[in-house]
Structure 1
Amino acid sequence: MTETILDLMTDYGVSILFVVTFLSCLCVPIPSSLMMLAGGSFAATGDLDIITTAAAAYLGAVIGDNSGYILARTFGNRISGWLDANPKRSKLRDRAKSYLDRKGPISVFLSCWLVAPLGPYVNLVCGITRYNWLKFAVWGAMGEIFWVGIYVSLGYSFSDQITSLATMLGNVSGFIVALLVVVLLGRWLWQVSNPDPTLSHNDAS
């Protein structure tokens, strides 16, 4: 995999970096983080310009985020119809919308870099729930600064260790996502096992 990525960087330079980060933000399973590390590594050896490399990755990510949002929002009516057909799905959508109304900015921001594997799905959820586009675009753009900046700069600084670095960062990201899932699942189980006493009282009356 690493050799293939290095070959692609050699043949296509920053163009392939733009394409890869763009596609990764549209839920395409592609090693965008490793590509950015490789881009930083090539910049360290003088084969690429560091500013152009970071700019290509950043533009691809930002355009990809907004494309995912726009696609989900455009076809959101069809998806909403499917969600409304089932009370459980409809309730889940309403809860997602309520959560984004309260914590949307920080969720979009962190999904771009701290829990990057969830980022493309956050883009889709924001589009489906018709979350304010300007807020989405601004906070997403700020988050991508961290994502691109961290990976390109690490590739630049540790150009001879990108494989080990990619493995370590992948493990850290995976752990954070897994921890988040466990926390959310635990919260859901708590709510299920401890129903709202007000609702029980109203049912009884």
Structure 2
Amino acid sequence: MHIQHWLETVPAVAVYLMVGGVIGLESLGIPLPGEIVLVSATLMAASQDHINPYVLGACAVAGAIIGDSIGYLIGRKGGKPLLAWLGRKFPKHFGPHHVATAERSFTKWGMWAVFVGRFIALLRIFAGPLAGVLKMPYWKFLIANVLGGICWAGGTVALVYTVGKAAEKWMGQISYFGLAAAALFGVGSFVMMRIKAKKAAARSGERQEAESAPATVGE
């Protein structure tokens, strides 16, 4: 079966729910690839007539606004202990350095950090919870949240959909061979990254052992 025919069997409702859900969870404070999911779904809409880009954009906007609002309420109730807990659970996203960087942005820019943060991966995850932790007035947060969600989600869908329609003929040429090549490339890249990470960890362990070894005193 050609990939184009397979895509036609994917229910539009499933795509809408996936986009709204992933973006909502990311905005709530859970590290998920919301932007990747949104772009991929929009490209599908550009090649599949049964996926409405306006409905897709509305679901993305709703997910962003609702997720951010829930994250704000959680942050306001949880306070600093919440950030400490997130730092233990997701050290790569909520480590002390990331929290300090986000706090500086909020202190300097206020509600603009919520709006601009929608376009920046790190702040997109932090915006809702951190605004709540820092006790930003909800009306300010809501204005920035709504405007940021509309501009980011709506703008992304509009831009990617326009580009996707222009490249629709090319996209229709994609076959199983192309997908297989992309999958092999992705798996190969992942394996290489794992190997490099293990080598780096091994080198780091050797350095730590060397530093912790007792010095020998010569007579």
State the TM bucket, normalised to the shorter chain.
0.5 to 0.7
1:26 is matched with: 28
Which one of the candidate residues 131, 136, 151 is aligned to 1:131? 136
Q: Is the 8 A contact 1:100 1:131 kept in 2?
A: no
- 1:157 deviates by 1.7
TM-score, scaled to structure 2: 0.56
1:10 is matched with: 10
TM-score, scaled to structure 1: 0.60
Query: Given residue 115 of structure 2, which amino acid in structure 1 is its aligned partner?
Result: F
Q: Is the 8 A contact 1:66 1:123 kept in 2?
A: yes
Point out the structure with max Rg over C-alpha: 2
- 1:14 deviates by 0.6
- 1:38 deviates by 2.3
| Residue-by-residue CA offset, 1:113-149 (whole Å, 9 max, x unaligned) | 2x23322213222111111011001111101112112
Matched ranges for 1:1-205 at <5 A: 10-11=10-11, 12-44=14-46, 45-76=48-79, 78=81, 96=103, 100=106, 103-113=109-119, 115-159=120-164, 160=167
Q: Is the 8 A contact 2:71 2:132 kept in 1?
A: yes
Distance 1:56 1:146 in 2: 13
The alignment yields a C-alpha RMSD, in angstroms, of 3.3
Q: Is the 8 A contact 2:27 2:127 kept in 1?
A: no
Distance 1:33 1:78 in 2: 28
- 1:57 deviates by 0.5
1:31–1:16: structure 2 CA closer, same or farther, 3 Å change rule?
same
Q: Identity of aligned pairs, percent?
A: 23
Distance 1:25 1:116 in 2: 10
Q: What SS does the corresponding residue of 1:29 show, helix, strand or coil?
A: coil
The count of corresponding residues between Structure 1 and Structure 2 is 146
- 1:100 deviates by 4.3
- 1:79 deviates by 5.2
1:42–1:126: structure 2 CA closer, same or farther, 3 Å change rule?
same
5+ residue gaps, structure 2: 86-95, 172-219
